[in-house]
Homo-oligomer: A and B are copies of this chain.
Amino acid sequence: MRVVGGLAEGHVTLRDVAERAGVHPATASRALNPETRALVKGATAQRVLRAARSLDYQPNPMARSLKTRRSHTVGMLIPDLTNPLFPPIVRGVEDRLAAAGYVALVGNTDNDEDRARLVLDRMRARHVDGFIMAIAHRSDTLLDRAARARIPIVLVNRVVESNVFPSVSVDNRAGTAMVVAHLAGLGHRRIACVAGPQDLSTGFGRYRGFLEGMAAAGLEVDPSQVVFAESFSQAEGLRCTRELLAAGLGATAVVAANDMLALGVYAALEEAGLRCPADVSVVGFNDMPFIDRLRPPLTSVRFPHYEVGTEAAQLMLERLSHRTSPVKVLYLAPELVVRGSTEPPPAPAAGRQARGRQGTRARRLRAVTSPAS
């Protein structure tokens, strides 16, 4: 420990501990490592451990990694940390990894294929032991790249058809089916859908859930009442709903593929002079923070974000300890959170229903002629 005038300079090394305990560094190493402690006599092991504690010995992870070729570091790729979806997932991952002595290196890809490749390479250079990928693009060149390097991979919110990677996802399909069942239960018969991008597994799964939910409720899907957003954004929600309105909104409820789209739906309805939920019910997906503070508070599907993170980390840790364990594909059940944006459809009585729809049409026309923003 390079003792200088009784003061500890720099870091305490294994040699210092060994010296203090009066043993050879190799013995100290064995005593300190739980895996090999059995090889050393109980008494000596105790002496070494005491010495280590008294010197506040911390093994140097670089030296250890250099030898063992494991960095105790896991790379985590996400699109963007400032998207409120990800912080809870990241925290879940970090907490679970930390408990096992690992740390996460988080990289933001901004949904950019090239940036993702760059981040991935950087992390490979840092010798991460594995990758947790929460990026949703279906193109698989990245996965190939990592898989070829024989680095363990865990997918988050993304399932590859061949099921060769362990993954943790929320059950998007089941969640959206629940949403439709909820609306059908309220009495809605004509339900529109602002679907997400179909090249993202979330968008795809939720759309499938919509179709299945409609079928299960014995309802027909009107093709003119389904619009596909090109991204999960307010702007796209607004655009899609305008399209719905332009096609003649025959629906009394709109299922949005996520909360951001739902915000756009709100905006479009407001613009068209339609009230939510009195005229149209709206449902989102994700239960984002503060979504309960909107007017009206948005009915949404809660996503166990944090648990998705801890489970993903858990799968990674399993993969890192026994490489042979079978591939697990885990789905976490979502939960429907009913708030003020859904209620029974307007005017169940025939006469009032007719009036209601008449009113809707009139407003629609106004909406169509309003300038696009």
Contact = CB atoms under 8 A, between A and B. Distances in A.
Contacts of A105: 103, 105
B60 A127 contact: yes
Nearest to A119: B98
A94 B106 contact: yes
Interface stretch (A217-225, A271-279, A285-293): A285-293
Interface in A291-327: 291, 293-295
User: How many copies of this protein are present in the complex?
Assistant: 2
Nearest to A294: B293
Given A61-B127, A63-B66, A127-B61, A82 B71 contact: no
A206 B339 CA distance: 35
Interface in A54-71: 58-63, 65-66, 71
A88 interface: yes
A22 interface: no
B98 A91 contact: no
A107 B95 CA distance: 9
A44 interface: no
A274 to B, nearest CB: 17
Contact of A66 (B66, B81, B90, B91): B66
A233 interface: no
Contact of A106 (B80, B106, B124): B106
Contacts of A126: 61, 103
Nearest to A291: B290
A78 to B, nearest CB: 10
A84 interface: yes
Contacts of A290: 288-291, 293-294
Contact of A94 (B63, B108, B127, B288): B108
Nearest to A267: B293
A32 interface: no
A291 B95 CA distance: 28
Nearest to A86: B87
A122 interface: yes
Nearest to A66: B62
Interface in A28-48: none
A367 B138 CA distance: 54
Nearest to A58: B125
Residue among A86, A106, A295 with the most chain B CB within 10 A?
Answer: A106
A268 B342 CA distance: 25
A263 interface: yes
Interface of A: 58-63, 65-66, 71, 80-82, 84, 86-88, 90-91, 94-95, 98, 103-108, 121-122, 124-127, 263, 288-291, 293-295
14 contacts: A58-B121, A59-B125, A60-B127, A61-B125, A61-B126, A62-B71, A81-B91, A81-B94, A82-B87, A84-B289, A87-B87, A98-B107, A103-B126, A295-B295
